[in-house]
Structure 1
Amino acid sequence: MGFRGGLGVVVVLAIVILVVVGFLQSRGSDSEGPGGSGAVSAEPPGEPAPDPLAGIAVVERRTKVPGYDRGDFGPAWADDTDAPLGHNGCDTRNDILERDLVDRVNFDIWRCPWAVRSGTLHDPYSGAVIAFQHGEDTSSAVQIDHIVSLALAWDMGANTWTPERRARFANDPANLIAVAGEANFAKASHTPASWMPPNEAFRCDYAHRFTSVLREYGLPIDRASAEALRGALRAC
C-alpha cells in the first residue's frame, strides 16, 4: 500500500472514531437530564402539610337551630362542683378575671376570696389596654367571652347535649377569655368566617383555642370558617 493509501485509511478511521465518540457523548448527555448528573433521579414528592383541622368535622354551612336560650347553658358563671374549676367560692367570671388581668387588687366578696376589685387588661382581641374597676357602672368595660359562642355551639350540636354538658361548656376556662366589652359585642356569635380578632397578632392563638374547643366537645364547623381557621393557623 502506498503512502497516500495508508494516509487515507488513517483519515477514515479517525473520522469513524470521532463519529462514535460524538454519538456516545450525545447519549450520555441525554441521560444526564437537566441536572447533568449522569443519572436520572426523581425526588419523591414532599409530604402534604398536615391539616390543622384534623379531627374536626366540616359541614357546608351553619344551620340556625331554633330555640336557643342562654338559660339552656345553666346559670351564668356557675360556681359548683360540676364546673371545671370546682366549688371555690368564686364564680367563673372572677376566676377568669383573676387569670387574665394583671396588676390586680383583690377583695373578698360574696364568699369569693379573690374577687377582682381592679386591674389591667391587655385586650387580646383589639390590642387595647383597659383599666378595670369593679362596680355597677364600670365592670362591663371588661367582659368574659366564649371563644366558641354558646349560640354557635347550639347550632352546631349543643342543642342535643344534656343540660350538664352545656353548663360545663359555658364555664370551661379553655373556652373563656377576658376581653374589652366593645370587642365582645362586636364578635357576638359570629363564626370565624365573618369575624376574627382585629388584633392580627392574636389570630393564631385565637384559631388554636377555637379549634381546641371544637375538638374537645366534638363540634363541627362550617366550611367557610374552616378555611378562615386554616389560614390563621398556617400563618402562625
Structure 2
Amino acid sequence: MKRLVAVLVVGILAVIGTALLIDAPSAPTAENPAPEVVTVHPARELLATLDVQGRAPMTGYDRALFGQAWSDDVRVEGGRNGCDTRNDILRRDLHEVAIRPGTFGCLVESGQLHDPYTGEIRDFVRGERSGEIQIDHVVALADAWQKGAQAWDEETRRDFANDPRNLLAVSGELNQQKGAGDAATWLPPNKSARCDYASRIIGVKATYGLAVTAAEQEALARELMRCP
C-alpha cells in the first residue's frame, strides 16, 4: 500500500512540474527579445507639476529688484559665508583654482573651466580676461519676472538671484548670446549638456513656483526624452 501511495505522489509531482515548465516564460532570444524597460526621467514628473501660462509683460522689470549683484546677504546655500556669490560659484565650477592670499579663501585669481555650454576648456584669469567666464542665471531673472517673480518679496528675489542651484560658470560669449531666453528660444550648443540644463531649469522653477509657457514646456519635455 505504501509503495502504491509513493508511486502516485511521484506521478502527481511529475505532472505538476511539466505544467510549470509549460507555463513558465521562455528565456529571451534573438527572435523573442525581452521587453524593453522604459525609464521615465524624474524631471519629467516634476515638469508636469509646473503651471503653464503665457509670458507676462516686462512692465516694471529692473535688475535692481533682485538685489545687489552677487550679494552674500541671502538665505540660500553659501549665503552669509563672507564671500560674494560670484566667487562662490567660480570656486565650485573651476578646476585648478588659485585663490588670492589674504582673502580668507574667497577671491579666485585663476582657474580652468570645463564649459558646459560649449564642451570646451576655458581659462579664467582675473582682470582683463575675467569677462570671458561669466556666471549664468540658468533661469534668467527677466524670465522669472515674467513667470511669477513679480509677486515675490524683495528677500525671495534676492535669494533667487544668488541661489547656486540656478547658477553656472560658463562662456561669457554664450551667456550674452542666451540673454533672457528660455528653453524654447535657447539651448546650449553642447548637446550632451542639454539634459542637465533642462533638468536644472525644471528643478529651479519647481522650487520657486515659476511657470513655463507651452512652448517652453514642450522644449523641456523634448530634451528630457533625449536624456541618456
Q: TM-score, normalised by structure 1?
A: 0.75
Match of residue 177, structure 1, among 168, 189, 196: 168
Q: State the 1:112 CA deviation.
A: 4.7
Q: State the 1:55 CA deviation.
A: 1.2
Q: Is the 8 A contact 2:74 2:155 kept in 1?
A: no
Find the aligned partners of 1:182 and 1:64 in 2 and give their Cα distance: 27
Is 1:190 matched with 2:181? yes
Find the aligned partners of 1:108 and 1:55 in 2 and give their Cα distance: 47
Supply the AA of the counterpart residue of 2:118. Answer: S
The DSSP-based 3-state class of the residue aligned with 1:159 is helix
Q: In the alignment, what sits opposite 2:110?
A: 118
Q: State the 1:81 CA deviation.
A: 5.2
Moved more, 78-87 or 213-222: 78-87
Match of residue 73, structure 1, among 50, 54, 66: 66
Question: What pairs up with 1:1-236 in 2 under 5 angstroms?
Answer: 51-52=44-45, 53-59=47-53, 61-80=54-73, 82-108=75-101, 111-135=103-127, 137-236=128-227
Q: Is the 8 A contact 1:84 1:168 kept in 2?
A: no
Q: In the alignment, what sits opposite 2:16?
A: none
Q: In the alignment, what sits opposite 2:23?
A: none
The DSSP-based 3-state class of the residue aligned with 1:114 is coil
Find the aligned partners of 2:134 and 2:201 in 1 and give their Cα distance: 18
Supply the AA of the counterpart residue of 1:98. Answer: R
Find the aligned partners of 1:193 and 1:81 in 2 and give their Cα distance: 30
Q: State the 1:138 CA deviation.
A: 1.3
Supply the AA of the counterpart residue of 1:57. Answer: D
Q: Is the 8 A contact 1:89 1:113 kept in 2?
A: no
Cα gap change, 1:81 to 1:108, in 2 (>3 Å): farther
Supply the AA of the counterpart residue of 1:99. Answer: R
The gaps in structure 1 that reach 5 residues or longer are 1-46
Supply the AA of the counterpart residue of 1:231. Answer: R
When the two structures are aligned, how many residues end up with a matched partner?
Answer: 188
The gaps in structure 2 that reach 5 residues or longer are 1-37
Which structure has the greater CA radius of gyration? 1
- The RMSD of aligned alpha carbons is 2.0
Deviations 1:118-169 (A, max 9, x none): 100111011121110011x211110000000000000111011000000000
Supply the AA of the counterpart residue of 1:62. Answer: R
Q: State the 1:63 CA deviation.
A: 2.5
Find the aligned partners of 2:198 and 2:155 in 1 and give their Cα distance: 26
Q: TM-score, normalised by structure 2?
A: 0.78
Q: State the 1:93 CA deviation.
A: 0.2
The DSSP-based 3-state class of the residue aligned with 1:221 is coil
